[in-house]
Amino acid sequence: MPSALVVIGSPNPRSFCHAMATRAADALERNGVECAIHDLYVEGFQPVAPLDEASTVGMDVEAAIDAGSDAVVRTHRRALTQADYLVVAHPNWWGKPPAIMAGWLDRVLVPGVAYRLDAREGLPTSLLRLRSVLVLNTGDTPPEREKEVFGDPLDDIWRRCVGAYLGGAAVHRVVASPLGGSTEAEREAWLDEVGRVADAL
C-alpha cells in the first residue's frame, strides 16, 4: 500500500492549515494511500539541530536516520524514507515557513536520508521514493501581490530549493490567501481545491 507523510507546522490546532492537511489526507486515504499525520507543535518537534546530528554526509541511510539522540527526528526521517507522497501544511510567515517547519527541513531532509551529493558541483541524488509533494499554505497577502511584489518566495523554497533534492517528485501547491476576512464559501473552495489536487496525485 502506498504511504504519505503529512507534516503540519501551524501552532493553532484549529487552523486552516490543519483543515487543509485533513482534507488532503482524506482524499489520499480514499485512493488507498495510508497517511501518517504529524503535527510538529503537538509532538514538541525541536527545530534546532544539536551538534550530535550536525553532519550526516557520507553515512548510509540507516546510520543517517539514527544520527543524533532525538527519537522524534528519527521517526520523521524513517517515515520520509518510506513515503510515496509528502504533504506539508504551514502558514506563510515573512515569506518563509515558520521556524518549526524550517527546522523540520534542516533536521529531516538531511544527506544520507533524503539525498547524497556525489559530485563536487553539489548536484544531489535523491534517496527518496517520493512521487509527489503537496504544499499547503495559508497567508494574508493576495496572491497577485505576493508574486508581483515579493516574488512568491515560498514557491521558490518548495519548488526550486527543496524540490531539487527530491528526485524529480512533482511539487504541487495550494495557497489559501488572503485568509483573514475570507468567507465560508471561499474557505470551502480552497478545501475543495486541496481535495482535487490530492485526488490527482
Over range 164-182, report the average pLDDT.
Answer: 94
Residue 34 phi/psi, 5-degree rounding, is -80, 125
Task: Note the pLDDT of residue 167.
Answer: 84
Over range 147-158, report the average pLDDT.
Answer: 93
Burial of 49 by CB count in 10 Å (0-12 exposed, 13-18 middle, 19+ buried)? middle
The CATH number of the domain where 25 resides is what?
3.40.50.360
Task: Note the pLDDT of residue 191.
Answer: 98
Tell me how far apart the alpha carbons of residues 193 and 98 are, in angstroms, rounded to a whole number.
23
Q: How many alpha carbons fall within 13 Å on the CB side of residue 127?
A: 23
Q: Count structural domains, the chain.
A: 1
Answer whether the bond into residue 2 is a cis peptide, omega within 30°: no
Task: Note the pLDDT of residue 37.
Answer: 98
CB atoms within 10 A of CB 39: 19
Reading phi first (left if > 0) and then psi (alpha if -120 to 50, else beta), residue 167 is in left
CA dihedral 123, 136, 6, 60 (to 10 degrees): 10
pLDDT at 119 over 70: no
pLDDT tens, position by position, 8-41: 999 999 999 999 999 999 999 999 999 999 999 9
The whole domain housing 153 covers 3-199
DSSP 129-198: ---EEEEEEE-SS-HHHHHHHH--HHHIIIIIIIGGGTTT-EEEEEEE-S-TT--HHHHHHHHHHHHHHH
- 175 - beta bridge partners? 137
pLDDT tens, position by position, 51-95: 888 788 888 899 998 998 899 999 999 999 999 999 999 999 999
Give the DSSP H/E element, type plus range, for residue 4.
Answer: strand 3-8
Task: Note the pLDDT of residue 53.
Answer: 83
Instruction: Find where cell 509533494 sits.
Output: 133
Tell me how far apart the alpha carbons of residues 84 and 1 are, in angstroms, rounded to a whole number.
10
